[in-house]
């Protein structure tokens, strides 16, 4: 098990390209575990509080991870990942999300943790070009997304969660090769 950092750091892009290069590789996306819109609390600031752990069904995410741990081969097949007959002993799970290291039951499961960051201006710029299933209302980035990112990042640092920092300003290609190399080394050292 592996993985990643902040909103618009390039997590989804990176994990999707890694999946193609790694043997028997499954991805679990934290975004798939957002609760329905009508269950998202509205803060005193008037914004729907999307960027907090309570807005995600983390129990369901953990169950999904446990299903992979129990039987990676079955999990891969069920998720349309073709299992290569000659490498059936190597299975990789990438967990990809913006609040992964703040949830205690998950944090110790990883064999490697990465944290992708870009500066405020770049994050805001990339975000403004994104379209989420629920579009960002005006002011959400500065009023909610960025402050919550800073809060969780600070908690992560206070808890001493060890991460490998990745510079999200590097090119897609450079990040891909850097992390692929690092994962391959991790796999060699653990086998
Ligand atoms: N290394 C990169 N350099 C420049 N832009 C990138 C890079 N990686 C991703 N992007 C772009 O940034 C935006 C957010 O990427 P995405 O992978 O969806 O981020 P995340 O999942 O972390 O929110 C997308 O428009 C994507 O094309
Ligand atoms: O996917 C959704 O349904 C969804 C609905 C509303 C908001 N989001 C945003 O998704 C962001 C996390 O995804 P990402 O790819 O930017 O890391 C987070 O900052 C949320 O504000 C996502
Ligand atoms: Mg994403």
Selection from 12, 4, 8 nearest residue 122 by Cα? 8
Q: How far is the CA of 101 from the centre of ligand 1 (A)?
A: 20
Interval between CA 190 and ligand 3 midpoint (Å)? 28
Query: Residues 45-63: what's their mean pLDDT?
Result: 97
Catalytic (active site) residue 167: no
> How much distance in Å is there from the Cα of 83 to the middle of ligand 2?
30
* Lowest-confidence region among 49-53, 83-87, 129-133, 168-172: 83-87
Q: Cβ distance 25 to 79 under 8 Å?
A: no
Query: Which entry of 31, 45, 71, 89 is annotated as an active-site residue?
Result: 31
Among protein residues, the one whose CA lies closest to atom 3 of ligand 2: 133
Please give the ipTM for the structure prediction.
0.98
| DSSP 8-class letter at 139 | T
What domains does the chain contain, in order, with CATH numbers?
Answer: 11-190 (3.40.50.300)
> What is the C-alpha separation between 23 and 82, in angstroms, rounded?
9
pLDDT tens for each residue of 117-168? 999 999 999 999 999 999 999 999 999 999 999 999 999 999 999 999 999 9
Please tell me the distance from the alpha carbon of residue 17 to that of residue 128, in angstroms, as a whole number. Answer: 23
Question: For residues 144 and 163, what is the distance between their CA atoms, to the nearest angstrom?
Answer: 24
Its sign, for the CA torsion 167, 170, 173, 178, is negative
Question: Which DSSP state fits 171?
Answer: -
Whose alpha carbon is nearest atom 14 of ligand 2? 7
**Least reliable range by pLDDT among 28-42, 104-118, 147-161:** 104-118
Phi-psi region of 104 (alpha: psi -120 to 50; beta: other; left: phi over 0): alpha
Q: For ligand 1, say whether the CB of 13 is within 6 Å of any of its atoms.
A: yes
E strand or H helix at 125 = helix 120-128
DSSP label of 48: B
| Residue 133: Cβ within 10 Å count | 7
Q: Is the pLDDT of residue 53 over 90?
A: yes
Helix axes 146-158, 120-128, angle to 10 degrees: 130
């Amino acid at each position: 098990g592996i993985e990643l950092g902040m909103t618009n750091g390039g997590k989804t892009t990176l994990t999707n390209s890694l999946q193609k290069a790694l043997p028997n590789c499954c991805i679990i996306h934290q975004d798939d575990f957002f609760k329905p819109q009508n269950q998202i609390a509205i803060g005193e600031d008037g914004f729907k509080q999307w960027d907090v752990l309570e807005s995600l069904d983390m129990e369901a995410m953990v169950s999904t991870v446990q299903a992979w741990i129990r039987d990676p081969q079955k999990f891969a097949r069920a998720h349309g990942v073709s299992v290569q007959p000659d490498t059936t002993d190597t299975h990789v799970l990438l967990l990809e999300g913006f609040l992964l290291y703040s949830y205690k039951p998950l944090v110790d499961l990883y064999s490697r943790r990465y944290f992708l960051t870009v500066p405020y201006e770049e994050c805001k710029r990339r975000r403004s070009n994104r379209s989420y299933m629920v579009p960002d209302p005006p002011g959400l980035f500065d009023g909610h997304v960025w402050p919550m990112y800073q809060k969780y990042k600070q908690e992560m640092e206070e808890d001493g969660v060890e991460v490998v920092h990745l510079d999200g300003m590097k090119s897609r290609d450079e990040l891909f090769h850097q992390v692929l190399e690092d994962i391959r080394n991790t796999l060699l050292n653990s086998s």
